[in-house]
Amino acid sequence: MYKKFTCSILAISALLAINGCGGGGGGETTEPITEPTTYNYHGTQNPGDYWTFSFTDGNFISTNVTMDLNISGTTKELTGNSEGFTELTTIGDEKGYALVIPGVGLYAAQAPFEWVDHSLSGEPEDLQYLSKNPIISAISKDASCDYINSNMPFDFVTIQTPNAEWDSRVDWAAGSGTITFNDASSRYDINGSHYSLDGSVFNSFNFSADCVDGVILVDVGESEPLRLSLSTSGGYFVDDPKRGAIVGFKSDSNVTASDVYGMSLLSMRFHPDYGYADMTSSPETQPLKATIAVNGESVNVTHFKDIANGVMDESFDMPISFDEQLVPGMIKGTITDADGTHDAIWIVRMLAGKYQIIQISDNWPSYSGYNVFMIEK
């Protein structure tokens, strides 16, 4: 039910020929040799695990590094009403759907990637809520520590992707901060503030970290470190082993809410419908289309009945308001559905010529969170 567009989330980026030779005296030529194009990504998922992906000419390889899971298969670009979405088919013939923007990033929903909610578990044998439908956010794995050093300070805006225990009344929803290299300590200083869903400052944060192979690592006292990385296109993610996924962008002081008025978007929504013994029966992830009104006062939403064949459901409008820019690229507002009016925060950034939006809002009266990733069509 997309009154549950009362949601929000996700953003991100990727990586990434030739030679012909003529024959001797007979005028013979050989066909040019084109090297395969490969895009390498790394990122996180709700509610947290570190992933790597490689896409090469219709094939993909993915690894959940945290859980030591490997999944591979083929990709297919959809057409018609589903144009812009990519179908992922595993070797075991399971299908998932993603928004993949070469040179920018990857968002996957309804995906054939198993995950476990670590926030609900104690010992390994207690791990629970196995699902086939996580939301995944990944950026291009092209940034080295040298690249990070040369782009300091890095000002960022982030969105929390809620885990099972997230409550909009008591937990932070978004954040902003700066990463700088400390010459004295040869480490990275990360400073900033978290915001509640109503736009008020929740708390401040300040910690130091190291960088290995383009990933900033923070020891948080867990078996896995907190991983943080950024990409050349401005994508940003944090994989927190306890709290889960945090995603965002390099902040941009030139972005305003009015930039996206009237914009048509391809979207992935995520809502952790916890409480199901088998989450595969619960529509916690869903691809959809959205169009923001030219006056910015509503959004038209259309679900897919069958994304593989481009079959759409009925469209409906939801009132929204963009009220205040908390920091550059982060906008506070509200969204209204059949349950009432809800606080919402959006972060907005143009990456590789396309606007991307990640949203978070609550689901009154349960106060659980919704996320939606939106990419300019």
Q: What would the pLDDT profile of 170-217 be if each residue is shown by its tens digit?
A: 899 999 999 888 888 888 899 999 999 999 999 999 988 998 888 889
Query: Is the distance from CB of 342 to CB of 352 less than 8 angstroms?
Result: no
pLDDT of residue 213: 83
| Average pLDDT score over residue span 358-366 | 82
- The alpha-helical segments, DSSP class H, found in 102-208 are 145-150
Q: Residue 91 — pLDDT band, cuts 50, 70, 90?
A: confident
- How confident is the model at residue 4, as a pLDDT? 34
Query: Would you say residue 13 has pLDDT above 50?
Result: no
* Cβ proximity of 97 and 85 under 8 Å: yes
Range in 8-17, 22-31, 164-173 with the lowest mean pLDDT: 8-17
Checking if the pLDDT of 305 tops 90, the result is: no
- Between 79 and 12, the higher pLDDT residue: 79
Q: How confident is the model at residue 125 (pLDDT cuts 50, 70, 90)?
A: very low
For residues 88 and 85, give the distance between their C-alpha atoms in angstroms, rounded to a whole number. Answer: 10
Question: Cα(245)–Cα(240) distance, rounded to whole angstroms?
Answer: 6
pLDDT at 24 over 50: no
Determine how many CB atoms are found less than 10 A away from the CB of residue 186.
9
User: What's the average model confidence in pLDDT over 1-19?
Assistant: 30
- What's this model's pTM, rounded to 2 decimal places? 0.82
Q: How far apart are CA 321 and CA 332, in angstroms?
A: 9
Joined together, the tokens standing for residue 282 give 């619960």
The Cα–Cα gap between 296 and 344 comes to 14
Least confident stretch, 63-77, 262-276, 301-315:
262-276
Average pLDDT score over residue span 8-36? 43
Q: Mean of the per-residue pLDDT values for the chain?
A: 78
CA 298 from centre of chain: 23
Average the pLDDT over 336-361 and give the result: 90
CA separation, residue 110 to residues 46, 93, 160, 200 (Å): 13, 14, 20, 33
Q: For residue 32, name the pLDDT band (cuts at 50, 70, 90).
A: low
Instruction: For residue 38, give the DSSP letter.
Output: E
Of the candidates 244, 239, 213, 219, the one whose C-alpha atom is nearest the C-alpha of residue 228 is 239
Pair of tokens at residue 175: 């954040």
**SS3 (DSSP) at 248:** strand
- Asked whether the predicted pLDDT for residue 132 surpasses 60, the reply is no
Contact 21, 38 (CB under 8 A): no
Q: Which of 32-46, 51-65, 147-161 has the highest mean pLDDT?
A: 51-65
Question: Is-contact 117 225, C-beta < 8 A?
Answer: no
Alpha carbon 15 to its chain centroid, in Å, reads 17
Which pLDDT does position 110 carry in this prediction? Answer: 59
Average pLDDT over residues 298-302: 93
Tell me the pLDDT tens digit for each residue of 220-239.
777 778 888 888 778 888 88
Average pLDDT over residues 247-254: 87
How many Å separate Cα 130 from the centre of its chain? 20
Q: Where in 102-200 does DSSP place strands (E)?
A: 105-109, 136-140, 154-160, 174-182, 187-195
Asked if residue 122 has pLDDT above 60, the reply is no
> DSSP letter string over 50-109?
EEEEEEETTEEEEEETTTTEEEEEEEEE--GGGTT-EEEEETT--EEEEEEETTTEEEEE
pLDDT in the model for residue 112: 59
Per-residue confidence at 272, pLDDT binned at 50, 70, 90? low
